[in-house]
Amino acid sequence: MKIIVHDFSGHAFTAQLARALAVRGHDVLYASFGGFQTPKGKTTRREGDPTSFRAKELVLPETFDKDNLLRRRRQQVAYAKAIAGVVREEQPDVVLSANAPLEVAQAIYRACRGVGAGYVFWVQDIYSEAIGRILAKKNALLGWLAGAYYRSVEKSLLRKSDAVVVIAEEFKSVFEAAPWNLDVSRVNVIENWGIIADVPLLPRDNDWAKANMPGERARIVYSGTLARKHNPDLLLALARNLDAEVYVFSEGSAPAALAATAAADGLTNLHVRPWVPVEDLPSMLAGADVLFALIEPDAGIFSVPSKVLSYLSAGRAILAAIPGQNLAARNVIREQAGLVSEPGDEAALVANARRLLEDAGLREQMGRNGRVYAERAFDIDAIADRFAELLADARPKPAIRIAGEPVSEAAP
């Protein structure tokens, strides 16, 4: 097949999937938005990549504005036109698209239909739910209207896609219930994964960690996006209440505000640093004693924090402030890979952090448990096999002609 794997964000695991599909002999283009500010995977072609793998990072002439919602929407529309142009130029058999804002997803779907390509909607977040809840915090009516409009767009895409992939069983339950009321028979659950091969187990005091996180005190590390669905006050609470260094590797307005608050409060043990290149990620994760993840209660319904997957791979104990029903929380609890508290329970979070910091044996055992789970669950060969089968089923079936009969579609 000729496949486009599109990830608006450019995450490491989607790029790994694209390469794994290319290894299977498919002609694969990995397309992503180079201007989206988030930790990136290997979004460009590298030495040793399969010959049938290509990569294309799309950029806009101006810096992407995450904070101004009107400007952000305008830029997403501009990107939508660009990626739709790539689909029309490439004329693939099928497109697998993830993390795309709904304007972008809609444009890709239309371009697929224009060139006769299959379209697979890979749902990482239920965007209309997120948009409605975020805007409702500013204006209840605006939140309701925006949520209803974007739900209609998202519902249409879910109905018309040739296949749908969701990352947790709970998404299917949401889509079956009101106000969605969708048939979920074509919805496939494939959980996200971490890249074991790219996260070797390294010593805590590796050269990178000693240079970038110096000192003898325990280290709590947060790595990834810090946005509207995260509460930075929890990071401040950890710094205020624990004898530990708290490192935040993130960029954007929220991390900048966090650094300013920490400075104003005299918290010398909270450090905000830029995202690290993907090559340095294993050393940074290994340098932690505890890895921290958080997500707000309402966001926990429609989003699963993917950073937990890298944390599991790194073999370090996880401290999480995540709703208990969230898939990431359930995995951490089931595998005994860390301690989880509800996002609003600051006292429980601090108590869990203190317990991990004071018990090196518990930390080490939980880190081992997480790594064992990752090695078992993050098998890219098995994952790529599932996607390859799904993509083959989603591409348009060639027309066949039987003598004396009208043209019909080939049986699936």
Q: Please report whether residue 150 resides in a domain.
A: no
Q: What is d(CA 223, CA 276) in angstroms, rounded to the nearest whole number?
A: 9
Residue closest to 157 by CA, chosen among 88, 81, 102, 101: 102
Same domain (yes/no): 186, 208: no
pLDDT of residue 66: 79
The amino acid sitting at 301 is I
The predicted-structure confidence for 339-376, as pLDDT tens digits, reads as follows 999 998 999 999 999 999 999 999 999 999 999 999 99
With beta carbons less than 8 A apart as the criterion, state whether 66 and 92 touch.
no
Same domain (yes/no): 383, 245: no
- When divided into structural domains, the chain yields a total of 2
Same domain (yes/no): 216, 319: yes
With beta carbons less than 8 A apart as the criterion, state whether 237 and 350 touch.
yes
Q: Please report whether residue 345 resides in a domain.
A: yes
Same domain (yes/no): 281, 263: yes
Q: Please report whether residue 148 resides in a domain.
A: no
pLDDT of residue 409: 41
Query: 301 — phi, psi (to 5°)?
Result: -75, -35
Q: Please report whether residue 100 resides in a domain.
A: yes
Same domain (yes/no): 108, 26: yes
Q: What is d(CA 306, CA 320) in angstroms, rounded to the nearest whole number?
A: 12
Same domain (yes/no): 99, 179: yes
With beta carbons less than 8 A apart as the criterion, state whether 332 and 291 touch.
no
User: Is the dihedral angle over the CA atoms 300, 302, 307, 312 positive or is it negative?
Assistant: positive
Which domain covers residue 54, as residue numbers? 2-124+161-193+379-409
Same domain (yes/no): 207, 93: no
Q: What is d(CA 47, CA 111) in angstroms, rounded to the nearest whole number?
A: 31
CATH number at residue 232: 3.40.50.2000
Q: Please report whether residue 136 resides in a domain.
A: no
Q: Please report whether residue 149 resides in a domain.
A: no
Same domain (yes/no): 384, 355: no
Q: Is the pTM of this model over 0.85?
A: yes
pLDDT of residue 412: 32
Same domain (yes/no): 328, 395: no
Q: What is d(CA 319, CA 238) in angstroms, rounded to the nearest whole number?
A: 11
Same domain (yes/no): 185, 309: no
Same domain (yes/no): 174, 292: no
Q: Please report whether residue 46 resides in a domain.
A: yes
With beta carbons less than 8 A apart as the criterion, state whether 299 and 130 touch.
yes
Q: Please report whether residue 142 resides in a domain.
A: no
Is beta strand 408-409 parallel, antiparallel or unpaired with respect to 399-400?
A: antiparallel
Cβ contacts of 412 within 8 Å, gap of 6 or more: 393, 397
Written in H, E and C, the secondary structure of the chain is CEEEEEECCCCHHHHHHHHHHHHCCCEEEEEEECCCCCCCCCCCCCCCCCCCEEEEEECCCCCCCCCCHHHHHHHHHHHHHHHHHHHHHHCCCEEEEECCCHHHHHHHHHHHHHHCCEEEEEECECHHHHHHHHHHCCCHHHHHHHHHHHHHHHHHHHHHCCEEEECCHHHHHHHHCCCCCCCCCCEEECCCCCCHHHCCCCCCCCHHHHHHCCCCCCEEEEECCCCCCCCCHHHHHHHHHCCCEEEEECCCHHHHHHHHHHHHCCCCCEEEECCCCHHHHHHHHHCCCEEEEECCCCHHHCECCCHHHHHHHHCCEEEEECCCCCHHHHHHHHCCCEEEECCCCHHHHHHHHHHHHHCHHHHHHHHHHHHHHHHHHCCHHHHHHHHHHHHHHHCCCCEECCCCCCCEECCC
Same domain (yes/no): 81, 166: yes
pLDDT of residue 127: 77
- The stretches in the chain having pLDDT less than 70 are 134, 298-303, 398-412
